[in-house]
Structures are given as structure tokens and as C-alpha cells.
Amino acid sequence: MKNQLFKFLAIMMIVGFSGNVMAQDVTDTESNDANAQILSAIALTVGDPLEFGGIIPDGSTDGTVEITTAGVRNLTTVTGVTASTTPTAASYTVTGTGLVPYTITIPTASFNITNTTGSGGETMAITAMTCSDGLSHTFDASGNDAFTVGGTLTVPAAQAPGYYTGTFDVTVEY
């Protein structure tokens, strides 16, 4: 009888444990968050132009004029004069959402500026554009930032006198 009671209890324990296992949930549900951030429109404002200043070509050798992002003018095989314009790097201010990163796109290919006075129509190439602090920036806590752009002007040896002008595009985006 003791053996039968032991068998009965063992069976009941197995059935009892099986019942608990079978009664457990087979699904689970968890909640998660859904988020969105609305950014302020990004706005770019032009300050100073990229100004190479007055230049006198060598007459026999091509030269260059570099304007660094700090506005420093470096001359190679040309003479620089301040004339009526002071050399400057192109400057920009930009506004957007505070502490959010953004990128700057500047020309990577050369582009020309054209003589609009004198005999007119002659061109000079600008290359090697650079941006202060690289092309990736982050807005300050108030959503403001500023940067400058420099480049290198190639001046042919016998370049015609005149006032040369042209445009280039700078783009900012989140």
C-alpha cells in the first residue's frame, strides 16, 4: 500500500508540475517609445565675398593668389596691392536647430571669374576651395554657427587688366 501511495503522489506531482508548465503564457507584450524631432529650417546668410584684392601679374610667369579661411593672402609670382579692395575669405552665418550637426558643400571643381571691364571677357580660374573647420559643423546651443571659405586664384602671366567677378555656390544641410 505504501508503494501505491508513493506512486500516486509521484503521479500527482508530475501532473501538478505539468499543469503549471502548461498554464504559463506563451506570448509576451512590451511597450516601446515612438519619437520624432522637428528641426528648425536651416538658413544660410552671406557675409563677406571671397576677395583676392588688387593683383599685378608677373608678365612672364603664371602666379597664384591664395586666400586662406582666416583671410590671409598668400602670393606666388604676383604682386599684391590693396587698391580699393581688402582681401577677405568668404564668410557665412547659418542658423538651425541647436546642437544638431550639419554639412557644408563647397565647389570641388574649378570655376572662373570673368573680366567685366577693360577689354572684357577674359577669365581666371579659382580652385582648391577650403572651409574653416572642415565640412562638418554643429550648431551651438542657440542654433547658430559661422564659417569662412577660401580658395586659390590662378593669375596668367599676361592677364588683361580689369575687374573680374563670378559666383560660386555653398550649400548647408542637415
Q: Give pLDDT tens digits for 18-34.
A: 555 556 779 999 999 99
CATH number at residue 133: 2.60.40
Beta strand 43-46 with 90-95 is: antiparallel
8-state DSSP, 76: E
Residue 130 · residue 89 · CB < 8 Å: no
Task: List the helix and strand counts (H, then E) for the chain.
Answer: 1, 13
Would you say 111 and 88 are in contact if contact means Cβ atoms under 8 Å apart?
no
Domain membership of residue 69 (yes or no) is yes
Distance between CA atoms of residues 62 and 156, nearest Å:
4
Task: Work out the pLDDT band at 6, boundaries 50, 70, 90.
Answer: low
pLDDT at 43 (0 to 100): 98
Reported as a pLDDT band with limits 50, 70 and 90, residue 49 is very high
pLDDT at 81: 87
Q: Answer whether residue 104 is part of any domain.
A: yes
Q: Is position 113 within any domain?
A: yes
The closest of 99, 102, 85, 82 to 147, measured between CA atoms, is: 102
Give domain status of residue 33, yes or no.
no
pLDDT digits (tens, 9 = 90+) for 38-48: 999 999 999 99
Is residue 65 a contact partner of residue 155, using CB atoms and an 8 Å limit? Answer: yes
Number of domains in the chain: 1
Quick check: is 49 in a domain?
A: yes
Average pLDDT of the residues in 47-63: 96
Pairwise CA distance, residues 126 & 152, whole Å:
5
Give yes or no for residue 56 having a pLDDT over 90: yes
The range of the structural domain enclosing residue 115 comes to 43-173
Flag whether 147 is in a domain. Answer: yes
- The answer to the question of residue 58 being in a domain is yes
Residue 22 and residue 19: Cα distance in Å, rounded? 5
Residue pair 53/85 in contact by the 8 Å Cβ criterion: yes
Strands (E), 61-168: 63-67, 73-76, 78-81, 90-95, 101-105, 111-115, 123-131, 136-138, 144-155, 164-165
